[in-house]
Structure 1
């Protein structure tokens, strides 16, 4: 099998890292270079990456995310930022208007670009024989993180990435049945029994972190009234009215 496809198909999340393992400068640079080469709409590159090196900063993030101690224990932690501050600078230099808060489109562009850069980083990490885990829960403290990291207006934290040498081997997590995700030419309806089957597959997989069937987890998640924290942060950062 093609080596790149093999890495992609065998990717998994790791949460236990060797605290004494240091990533070399060359490895870190290779990961960052790979991230920056990701696809980007119109080559806009609407994101930034913050490499958290200070121990105190990472420990503060763990205080806000106690369920993710690997933020401090991994070899390196990256924070991916949706960055529309750069294009604000461009608009100011060209003396043009910047009505960025009139549509959600710029936020989608920045989020997509950051996600693509994140995935490139994840695969680069795997190719180096290291492991990683994406941390989306940092959005729960987006306002505090924005202040901690001195983020300017028109930026917003999206997700983090813990990178290190795994100490616990993880199994490849089963994905949803292909017919529920892959469609040809048009969206195809499928029987709900496929989702019920996936509940059984995940139950047999037996991931300790999962306390509910897959379908129940997301039924409960989307039933809960949104906290609006991200909306409020985007308003503070002048990205939403």
Structure 2
């Protein structure tokens, strides 16, 4: 049996899946793992919506930028920053919640979702499943909110495709560890040189997997980060009550 650290280090995103259902018991096991993770103040301001309905997954696939694996895999999880739940808790205490109107609130919600998402990835892979996280559900957030009937003070942060792999995929190279692990303080002096070397590594990798059009890490990333690539997010957040007034 693989150790947990081996499962984590062997992660790769899967975008081709067998047409095989994932039992509800396994999905629940994954979600229990996600729920067991730490969260700010034990506020538990995360919820997960399991989407198995094919027609709904087709819609989500289109709204997320036409990502076919959302439709092809049997299960899609939507991770929600959920301050509606905490709002209801404060109502019981006779108090008025305002945390979602602050930048801190958004960070709390996003961080807690990230922790839960990471746990779901590890749990799924440890059970022999393939996964791929989907940030594209923020591409058309108002439509996702309507489709999933999300209440105010909630927001869909990320999704996770889950299924049995058809193709194990190639593990993608990462930047060297010295651009990720720093001792005592950030070392900006190494970044330019390490990026140059990493771009060469990625060029070879992309050629090997038939994705030469992406060129390298810098060029691919620039297509997204030179603009706000999900421009509807801020307005949708405000509509949901994340007003950033403090």
Structure 2 CA distance for aligned equivalents of residues 204 and 2 of structure 1? 29
Structure 2 CA distance for aligned equivalents of residues 98 and 228 of structure 1? 27
Structure 2 CA distance for aligned equivalents of residues 66 and 176 of structure 1? 27
1:4-83 correspondence to structure 2 within 5 Å: 4-19=4-19, 21-83=20-82
Secondary structure in structure 2 of the residue aligned to 1:118: helix
Is the CA contact (8 Å cut-off) linking 2:131 and 2:160 kept in structure 1?
yes
> What runs of 5+ residues in structure 2 fail to find an aligned partner?
none
Alpha-carbon deviation of 1:219? 3.3
Change (3 A) 1:147 1:216: same
Structure 2 CA distance for aligned equivalents of residues 65 and 238 of structure 1? 22
1:212-231 correspondence to structure 2 within 5 Å: 212-225=215-228, 228-231=231-234
With 222-231 and 69-78 compared, the bigger mean Cα shift is at 222-231
> What runs of 5+ residues in structure 1 fail to find an aligned partner?
none
Is the CA contact (8 Å cut-off) linking 1:231 and 1:240 kept in structure 2?
no
1:185-224 correspondence to structure 2 within 5 Å: 185-191=184-190, 192-206=192-206, 207-209=209-211, 211-224=214-227
Structure 2 CA distance for aligned equivalents of residues 66 and 220 of structure 1? 15
Alpha-carbon deviation of 1:91? 1.9
Find runs of 4+ consecutive structure 1 residues off by over 6 angstroms: none
Structure 2 CA distance for aligned equivalents of residues 42 and 149 of structure 1? 27
Is the CA contact (8 Å cut-off) linking 2:82 and 2:109 kept in structure 1?
yes
Structure 2 CA distance for aligned equivalents of residues 226 and 66 of structure 1? 11
Structure 1 CA distance for aligned equivalents of residues 25 and 132 of structure 2? 21
Is the CA contact (8 Å cut-off) linking 1:180 and 1:190 kept in structure 2?
no
Change (3 A) 1:227 1:63: closer
Alpha-carbon deviation of 1:102? 4.1
Deviations 1:99-150 (A, max 9, x none): 2354210111111111111111111111111111001111011110001110
TM-score, normalised on structure 1? 0.93
User: How many correspondences in the alignment?
Assistant: 240
Change (3 A) 1:225 1:170: closer
Deviations 1:40-90 (A, max 9, x none): 122222110000122221111122235311112112111001111111112
Query: Which of these residues, 234, 240, 243, is aligned with residue 240 of structure 1?
Result: 243
Structure 1 CA distance for aligned equivalents of residues 134 and 243 of structure 2? 24
Is the CA contact (8 Å cut-off) linking 2:63 and 2:143 kept in structure 1?
no
